[in-house]
Structure 1
Amino acid sequence: MSRVVIVGGGAAGLELASLLGRSVEPHDEIILVEGETHHYWKPRFHEIAAGTFDNDLDTLCYFSHGARNGYRHFQARMTDINREEKLLQVYKPNGETDTLAYDYLVIAIGAISNDFATKGAKEHCLFLDTPQQARDSWQQISSLLRSGGQRTINIVGAGATGLELAAELAKVNGNLSQNAYAAKLTINLIEAADRVLPSGPLKMSQEALLRLEKFQINVMLNTRIASVDQQGMTTSDGLNLDADIQFWAAGIKAPDWLNNIGGLESNHANQLIVKQTLVTTLDSHIFSLGDCAAIPQADGSMVPPKAQAANRAAVHLAKNLKGLMQGKELTPFVYKDGGMVVSIGHNYAISTMMNDRLILKGRLVRRLYDTIFRLHQKTVSGLFTMSRLIISKRLKCIFKPN
């Protein structure tokens, strides 16, 4: 009998728990350690914050899902690792501490935004790193929209998260334009680089900028934030940007508490350093994947922090762990980038394909963006459940009142 403990119920952790739970022998035990009760797909956190997310059809209860898919949900958060005794130390919602024994441990807690130690950012900005933060953001935005008058929202970081949030809020603002009591939003999207989507191809950045300008979003490039206070932000050039709500979505890193946890090797971004087989460099019984792991490739490159990378790593590690429990050797994880899809508003998206040589855009590409989420649902719940959810979603869109 082997016990596999997976920490983190995001895209990587949940998919791994689901795949293992349905495929290992009955005497093996799969435990998913996650502090939340429900799973939300992180690339859609901006929809939660903007109030356009469908909680009924696009969330998943870990407890009931685990019972159907062969794993157990243990509601807690990891605090430390005792590698000598193979014990995971956790903190439970009732305030108690506990330990979980493991034979194999997988850390898949994802990443958080990097505020680069900017003065006041932690205290005065909203972040979209957890479902709770996204829900709290919607509560503040909802109150702001109901307050009337002219209001301003600052968003730092024009990568995928910041750009998608800005566009989604602009769409909500447009939908409420006929409501005389709703606030009118001015949205500032602030980026230190010289273009939006700085990690994507130039043509994609240009197309995204045109769409943002069509939404009347104020895009501020080559602009660094020096400090943040309750009233707004100050740039490195001394410009004051007052705002009612402020978001920080620039850069990513693993949480600070993960740095050297249990004596494991980590990098400057707090990511656990792993081999190409996804096993940590200092412990053959501990694995890591997703945004919290620094995963090398044979050519010396690193796997990028993308949802598709987390999905593929989860599928690979599920096969590897199942084989390992049967006495087989680990195989290396080889990642092939399938391109990039960014949602710009609820009915529009931009995508790159063919090694960034082809740029697609429009409403149909938005359907491709939704398909990526549906493939995630297929992995965790199966084809039949995914199909039912798609049909239910379409029917709901047709029959629900505006």
Structure 2
Amino acid sequence: MVDTGFGTRETPGARLLVVGGGIAGLEIATVLGRRWRGRAGAPTVTLLDRDAAHVWKPMLHTIAAGTRDIAMQQTTYVAQAREAGFVYQPGALNGLDRKRRVVQVAPLHAEDGRLLVPARELPYELLVLAVGSQANDFGTPGVAEHCHAIDSRLQADAFSREVRLRMLQCVAMGQPLSIAIVGGGATGVELAAELVQLTETAEAYGARGLAERITITLLEAGPRLLAAFPRDISAATQQRLQTLGVRVRTGTQVRAARAEGLELADGSLLAATLQVWAAGVKGPAVLAGLDGLETSRSQQLLVTPSLQTTRDDAIYALGDCARLTLPGQERPLPPTAQVAHQQARHLARHLPGVLAAGRPVPPFRFRDFGALVALADYDAFGSLGRFGFFDGGTVHGRLAQLSHAMLYRSHQARLHGFWRGGLLWLADRIQARVRPPIRLD
């Protein structure tokens, strides 16, 4: 018996290593960990992630705005590993040796710089890469230095703290606060609405005149917001944001980010106290040089319909970090939670056959159930997709808001089971009744 990390102790069988504890990675580790728990000679499932906890990525904008309590919405990997029967290893992917079949893990440091865990290697027989994505600055000067990102739990929490500090200055000193969000996709649109809700709720708690001093501007380089949605949803969303006081500027390109604001393509400067970059999608930088694996221009791993990487059949990639163009399609699948979940379910169903009998994974088939965008508690819009009884069309209002909430509750049920997921939902509703609706610390 050996201790392979945080979680269960197993007699080593085949080694399945999952890198990345996002929607796809955590669902695979949870499903297969439960399936093989306690079985003699069963494969060992290990999850590697640089963070300590998981937050459903479509919820990060609410964490960033402080309209959701991060402590209530996160799932710690250590606890999930114990409950589901997999092993959690803390650390970040730093490299890959495909010949030896080992993943190289970066050293782990404390916030004060102390070395906690030195660089190490983890072996695998099958490797699943689900390391997610990040915003793409397209080489725009100054973005890394002056713009916040909300691609991870820690980034969203850091932005939330900064927003509250700036609001304190705004109220106590009468200073204006201007927030500029670059990117008119779902993340940028939803963050803008959540910041409006944060402002209005803070005023209700005594921050008099706050709304008059805060300016929220949403910039989109393309001709309309939500380019992946139908045009009627784009138009309705823009109109609703503008009625909430958000300044929407489409067809506006950012040339550079500065400490004092954003330099636009026409040479003008949009002054901004806080800047958020939520435009574009690319894979993490580590994927670009991962022992010869093939990547796209946006640093996403190219995969076949079986979700195997094009140059190594023992390595699978899925979710935002993978680029898959299905047969007969012109565009690759979008980097959405819906795609990540369906791919995770597909691999969780077929990887046991690969390990046990060498059976191939059949081609992945995507079922488009549409897309949803929620404007805080104000409104929501959704497209119904084209599968089964769905045939396009749109929904909005309470029905769309309920549908958006159900996506998250379904994710919780997949991780924790139906009854425990239901208890978490109940706990969430109780907390909403007894605690302030925004973070006030």
Matched AA of 1:341:
L
Task: Determine the structure 1 residue equivalent to 2:194.
Answer: 168
Alpha-carbon distance in structure 1 between the residues aligned to 2:309 and 2:26: 20
The answer to whether the aligner puts 1:98 opposite 2:120 as a matched pair is: yes
1:22 is aligned to 2:34: yes
For 1:236-315, what aligned pairs fall within 5 Å after superposition?
236-301=265-330, 302-315=332-345
Q: Which of 157, 180, 191 is the equivalent residue of 2:208?
A: 180
Q: CA deviation at 1:13?
A: 0.6
Match of 2:399 in 1: 364
Shift of 1:296: 2.6
Note the C-alpha offset of 1:295. 1.6
TM-score (norm 1): 0.97
Q: Which is further off, 303-312 or 86-95?
A: 86-95
Report the Cα distance in structure 1 between the residues aligned to 2:81 and 2:362, rounded to whole angstroms: 27
Q: How well do the aligned residues superpose, as a CA RMSD in angstroms? A: 1.5
Contact 1:351 1:360 in 2 (8 A): yes
Of 52-61 and 198-207, the range deviating more from structure 2? 52-61
How much does 1:354 deviate?
Answer: 4.1
Structure 1, unmatched stretches of 5+, are none
Contact 2:373 2:404 in 1 (8 A): yes
- Deviation at residue 347 of structure 1 after TM alignment: 4.5
- The residue aligned with 1:51 is 66
Contact 2:48 2:92 in 1 (8 A): yes
State the Cα distance separating 1:56 from its structure 2 match.
Answer: 3.5
Where does residue 349 of structure 2 map in the other structure? 319
Query: Partner amino acid for 2:337?
Result: A
CA distance in 1, matches of 2:120, 2:162: 34
Aligned-pair distance for 1:181? 7.0
| Structure 2 Cα separation of the partners of residues 354 and 120 of structure 1 | 38
SS in 2 for 1:113: coil
1:342 maps to 373
Q: Distance in 1 between matches of 2:436 and 2:300?
A: 46
Secondary structure class of the residue paired with 1:112: coil
* Structure-1 residue corresponding to 2:96: 81
Q: Distance in 1 between matches of 2:296 and 2:239?
A: 37
SS in 1 for 2:305: coil
TM-score (norm 2): 0.88
Counterpart-to-counterpart distance in 1, 2:394 and 2:242: 19
- 1:401 positional shift: 5.5
**Cα separation, partners in 2 of 1:297 and 1:24, compared to 1, 3 Å:** farther
Q: Return the alpha-carbon distance in structure 2 between the equivalents of residues 129 and 400 of structure 1.
A: 27
The answer on whether the counterparts of 1:224 and 1:236 sit within 8 Å (CA) in structure 2 is yes
Quick check: 28-37 or 53-62, which moved more?
53-62
Correspondent of 1:235 among 227, 248, 264:
264
Q: Identity of aligned pairs, percent?
A: 33
**Matching of residues 123-272 of structure 1 within 5 Å:** 123-148=145-170, 149-178=175-204, 179-180=207-208, 182=210, 184-272=213-301
Structure 1 residue corresponding to 2:134, chosen from 88, 96, 112: 112
